[in-house]
Amino acid sequence: MGASKTITYREAMREAIKEALQRDDRVFLMGEDVGYYGGTFAVSKGLVEEFGEERIRDTPLSESGFVGAGIGAALGGMRPIIEVMTVNFSMLAMDQILNTAATLLHMSGGQFNVPVVIRMATGAGRQLGAQHSLSLENWYAHIPGLKVVVPATVDDARGMLWTALEDPDPVLIFEHAGLYNREGELTVNGNPVDIDSARVRREGSDITIITYGANLFCCLDAADELTGDGIDAEVVELRSLRPLDVDTYVESVQKTGRCVIVDDGWKTGGISAEIGMTLVEEAFFSLDAPIARVCRAEVPMPYAGHMEQAALPQVEDVVHSARRLVKPNG
């Protein structure tokens, strides 16, 4: 292991952007208030002073306009990092992302790649109401032509951006807003991180817990609590929702025989259903119990703090689901 330092998720993302700007003159950051204001979540704070307004570009309040401009810049040979303030506002750029960025390579017969990276904050838990608390990474994972990554650790937050910028196709990076203040150990002089494979974050033998994003830490806490019941839980972090690393989580479930899927989105039509179905297709005869899902409640996100927490996956929800599968009569 190399040297490490304690850093917040926000600082790791800022380091990633800074390193990309230093490495490649084609890279620039664009979005609402990313310049002298420093970004809504302070990720780009200080970058305009260092790199100037040509490379840290404030945009008008028009997601469709500036996402379209970024796609055009990518087609013209640049390597833009587009910051959409939150996933909630990305719906205003859906046409650009789905009908343009995701389709041009196919529609041009392979002549035109769109090497654009679009970053956006996602998730609830901060009492911002139904219109500012969505987790729509599931939606984007449905679309061929896009890659969808969900870094949870500071190493992944720092290392995935450069890999995404080197990709010839559009990459969407979803950063859970609840992680920005979270500290972690960042590997100093770490290498770029792949954006298409899952990681087993905790080894176990009795049940597999599959998750992504901020729920990784909820699931790790749940796994620790389950040890008090003599249940040894394995935690698999997806890290990428498109492509899904099916082999890694199938292999885990084939070993443990049981599975809980923890998803920040709604259950209906969500990524948890896709994961569950692939397990039925690939690991059915290894299952010793039904597959369980822990997702956000099927409601618009409440504003009141206690109701918001009740609508989101919690440690006790994961623990209860795992106990029910491993010790149904316990």
Active site residue 132: yes
Of the candidates 11, 32, 63, 137, the residue annotated as catalytic is: 63
Of the candidates 11, 32, 132, 175, the residue annotated as catalytic is: 132
Q: How many CB atoms lie within 10 A of CB 297?
A: 15
Active site residue 142: no
Which of 223, 102, 112, 201 minimizes the C-alpha distance to 152? 201
Three-class DSSP labels, the chain:
CCCEEEEEHHHHHHHHHHHHHHHCCCEEEEECCCCCCCCCCCCCCCHHHHHCCCCEEECCCCHHHHHHHHHHHHHCCCEEEEEEEEHHHHHHHHHHHHHHHCCHHHHCCCCCCCCCEEEEEECCCCCCCHHHCCCCHHHHHCCCCCEEECCCCHHHHHHHHHHHHHCCCCEEEEEEHHHCCCEEEEECCCCCCCCCCCEEEECCCCEEEEECCCHHHHHHHHHHHHHHHCCCEEEEECCEEECCCHHHHHHHHHHHCCEEEEEEEECCCCHHHHHHHHHHHHHHHHCCCCCEEEEECCCCCCCCHHHHHHHCCCHHHHHHHHHHHHCCCC
Active-site residue numbers? 63, 132
